[in-house]
Amino acid sequence: MKASTLSSNFIVLDSKLCAHSVPVSPSLYPDLDANFQNFRSCILVAEYRFDADWPSWEMHPAGDEILLLLAGAAEIQLMQNGEVVSIQFDQVGTTLIVPRATWHTAKVKETCRIVFMTPGEGTEHAEQPPTA
């Protein structure tokens, strides 16, 4: 066993809560689906760096997602009751819980690094979220 950075090796907690280090690669998400039964009952722990707004919205129906800000600043937008709610995410060390099945995106205010703990099973993406 050796240490690695979360930006180069994500961690998957499987349904038995065993941790698996997974190298980040262009085929990461298809590999996760193939190796972890379509990500059923798994949590992905990942670090991403953003220097631009997210190009789409996403939603995780399998559970709440946890975000941890490591650096920079963003505005996290949540679709709640048909309206966009903006949350300033700009203090290093701050966490945010995105509720299950809530469409969300981010507007980057300053290049940022965020750790995500994501229940990935059934994740959906859309250019714009459904409003109803």
Q: What is the mean pLDDT of residues 65-72?
A: 98
Res 23: pLDDT: 93
> What is the residue-averaged pLDDT of the chain?
94
Res 1: pLDDT: 66
What backbone torsions phi and psi does residue 72 show, to the nearest 5 degrees?
80, -155
What backbone torsions phi and psi does residue 31 show, to the nearest 5 degrees?
-65, -40
The tens digit of pLDDT for each residue in 39-53 reads 899 999 999 999 999
- For the cut 80, the answer to whether the pLDDT of residue 63 exceeds it is yes
* Percent above pLDDT 90 for the chain: 85
